[in-house]
Chain A
Amino acid sequence: MADNVKEYSTNDFKSEVVESDTPVLVDFWAEWCGPCKVIAPVVEELANDYEGKIKFGKVNVDDHNMVASEYGVRSIPTLLIFKNGAVVNQIVGAVPKEKITAILDTVI
């Protein structure tokens, strides 16, 4: 796991994501999810590309199901993009990198 994509938990989700000054992309995933393994390296690449502009993190839905259900995640992988504490965009399923960058470029 690249250290530029941080693992968030139920405990630090509020301080790391909701109260963050910079936009945050959160990848909801699980060990047993095939498409999640496809999107994970893409998220890591994006974390490098957008370093300093957008924070990147992930939530393991097995361990932190409360966070997933609070934000209505019912499918993984789901990427939620937070700005000023609110979800401004969401991407469901493994999608090519360009589709994510197109959305990220609108939030910075």
Chain B
Amino acid sequence: MNRKVIIIGSGPAGLTAALYTARANLEPLVFEGSQPGGQLTITTDVENFPGFPDGIMGPELMDLFRKQAERFGAECYFEHVTKVDFSKKPYTVWVGDKEYNAESIIIATGATAKMLGLENEKKLMGFGVSACATCDGFFFKDKKVLVVGGGDSAMEEATYLTKFASEVVIVHRRSEFRASKIMIDRAMNNPKVRVMWNSSVVDILGSQEKGVHAATIKKTDTDESFEESCDGIFMAIGHKPNTDLFSDVLKTDSNGYLITASDSTATNTDGIFACGDVQDHSYRQAITAAGSGCMSAIDAERYLEDNNLNK
């Protein structure tokens, strides 16, 4: 069946695009990807989404987003798109062997936490190495953990981890943080938190059987290296956009973010729109993602109308 619109991604951007296209009777099909609800599903309290004066839990907020889109007929599937063909219309996306066609596509694949790229990091992921304090903090009761990074997410993870860990050490490669002041204060005022400035993690020591027991730290100013004992390491070193599936067809910037036309969500390919973190390296908020998701939906609707595809 030829769809009018397929949405790839299910964070605030994708689900807002789903809500708007569903209300416009475009019967959107949403492929939720491997993390339905997106990055907010691994956070705790969201304090800055307007309309929730007391805050709301990230997973709960995304559940509400999905329900609202489904109420108007959006179909959401917990499936991961594996391949696309944007070279001819209608466009094709594959989930494994299953093929789907659509006149327009909205890309809202978001971004994924970056890793350091160490061999042991991959091997020990889930065995002491984590990119999600809210998922895994529980397992580090009265343990010592490192948090790598210097932005808001590093501060948030460090603060959250003090609920469980006996000691939280923020390892940061520079001599100052780029996090916002409120987040820095919250972390630094906690007696369990200390900072290792000008330091980077160059190796992680441990095994899948016994977990992590230490990290090798290298001082970025003196080149001196030493081992720091710890039971867990949490990565909070930024994000990379999920554009691998499209980067050979759609224009990206030097960091891999999709490029959209100014004041629009149009990519360089007709009928293909991008919204949310996959095209935004500067704001990266739930509310801005939702806003651009709405723009994508309206852009797609106009495109379908202008090309007589909205039947």
B-binding residues in A (CB < 8 A):
30, 32-35, 37-38, 41-42, 61-62, 68-69, 72-76, 78, 90, 92-98
Contact = CB atoms under 8 A, between A and B. Distances in A.
23 contacts: A32-B138, A34-B59, A35-B35, A35-B41, A35-B42, A35-B135, A38-B37, A41-B78, A61-B138, A61-B139, A62-B138, A72-B211, A74-B139, A74-B140, A74-B232, A75-B130, A75-B132, A75-B139, A92-B125, A96-B78, A96-B79, A96-B80, A98-B96
Nearest to A39: B78
B264 interface: no
Given A34-B37, A38-B41, A96-B78, 4 more contacts: A35-B35, A72-B208, A76-B136, A78-B126
B127 interface: yes
Contacts of A38: 35-37, 41, 78
What 7 A-B pairs have minimum CB-CB distances, sorted nearest first? A92-B126, A34-B59, A34-B41, A75-B126, A74-B139, A75-B136, A96-B80
A68 B232 CA distance: 16
Contacts of B232: 74
B58 interface: yes
Most A CB contacts (10 A, CB to CB) among B80, B138, B140 go to: B138
B209 interface: yes
Contacts of B198: none
